Amino acid sequence: MDTSIAFTIGPLTVRWYGILIALAFALGSYLAYREVKRQKLNVDELLNMLLVIIPSAIIGARLYYVLMRWDYYSSYPQYILQTWQGGLAVHGGIIAAVLALLLYCRIRGQNFLRWVDLLSPSLALGQAIGRWGNYFNQEAYGYATDLPWAMFIDGAYRHPTFLYESVWSLLIFALLLWLIRRRHRFGGIFAVYLIGYSVGRFFIEMLRTDSLMIGPLRMAMVISVLGILLGAALFFFNRKQPLVDVSALAPEAAPALRQIRRAGSRDTEKMGPPTQAKKKAKWKKRK
């Protein structure tokens, strides 16, 4: 019995992997929508972003996997588009999605760090859900073990590394959801995601039997180290930024505040005398 198939309708075969990936995107998008409403941001801007980010993530995840196994796909190019057989690399999807968001924000004049913070909990939740697609595809498992929670996969009881990563991602999601509702520096939530997910993935990858390799190194471990360094750098360079309660910002408050800070005292002079002074002047005129 093929455990990867959920059901069939005539010639159409629907697989669990696709269902779970779609569910991950749907719940992640809904979570982001709720956060956009809480932060009083533009919902249409979010929808436009998702139309760019989601296809980019899927294409990036597949492209990364294919390139890392080019020795196989160069000989069998007809299998490159067969994503229903598995072969979506999480790191490729994350990299492509973040780059797509960065490009979108630059074109639209949006605050990239604020938006990437907002979307980070959705990303972690999506990973927690999507990893179960690996179970139904019987992939992304670890070495044989006699631990009580081992799962019978591919003829042996093995480390369910997809389960480890799903649980870890769920914990990261809970932490990010808690942090984003508190005062933070823009970029801080994404930095926590980068460090938290990368630390967990680094150690989980040690147990896997199907790691993508770059020479003698496991590529996921290399990317995880880079993720930790990037998150730490983001914390360091962002440490002087003010702590912000995002839910208390008016929709147009941030750009206005930046303009006032840049102009300094000159803007204050242009704003005219204080309200109390205006009242006194008006009273004198009446007398």
Distance CA 137, CA 272 (A): 68
pLDDT at res. 154: 86
Residue 129 and residue 165 in contact, taking contact as beta carbons nearer than 8 Å: no
Higher confidence at residue 46 or residue 137?
46
112 belongs to a structural domain: yes
Asked whether residue 52 is domain-assigned, the answer is yes
Q: Which residue has the tokens 């004049």?
A: 109
If one counts the domains in the chain, the total is 1
Q: What is the mean pLDDT of the chain?
A: 88
- The helix/strand/coil state of 15 is strand
Please report how the helices 112-130 and 188-205 are oriented relative to each other, as an axis angle in degrees rounded to 10.
30
Asked whether 93 and 58 are in contact (CB, 8 A), the reply is yes
Is the pLDDT at 92 greater than 50? The verdict is yes
> Residue 189 — φ and ψ, nearest 5°?
-65, -45
pTM, entire model: 0.85
In a domain, 263, yes or no: no
Note the pLDDT tens digit of each residue in 17-48. Answer: 899 999 999 999 999 999 999 999 999 999 99
Give residue 257's pLDDT: 42
Q: Please give the Cα distance from 158 to 146 (Å, whole number).
A: 8
Does a structural domain hold residue 272?
no
Residue 161 is part of which domain span? 5-246
Let me know if residue 260 belongs to a domain.
no
- What pLDDT was estimated at residue 82? 84
